[in-house]
Amino acid sequence: MDRQEEYARKMHARLKQADMDIVKLEENAERSDVGGSSDYEEYLRELRERRQLLRDRWEEAKDQSDESWEGFLRGLDNAWDDLQRTFEKARARMR
């Protein structure tokens, strides 16, 4: 398996996990007293936006030449890190 294929599998799993995490946070919000909170709704909106940004960047990366692939990987990893930090903020808010 080449590096691009390996990264594609990794990114697919990351996006799937992000979708599941967002659903879980939404469900937890509905069961707790933070559901409907404007701060919490803002976190969920930001999570959805960051997830979509990651998906968009991934779609761009798939069309890149081998020469520009490495640069796109760094951008994708940064977008993933941003998404994870936002998840952590939302989870901390629910506690």
**Tell me: the pLDDT tens digits for 47-80?**
999 999 989 988 888 887 777 877 888 888 998 9
Residue 14 has pLDDT above 80, yes or no: yes
The dihedral through the CA atoms of 8, 76, 27, 94 has a sign that is positive
Q: What are the tokens at 17?
A: 């996990």
Residue 81 has pLDDT above 60, yes or no: yes
In tens, the pLDDT along 21-51 reads: 999 888 877 776 655 567 778 888 899 999 9
Contact 80, 17 (CB under 8 A): no
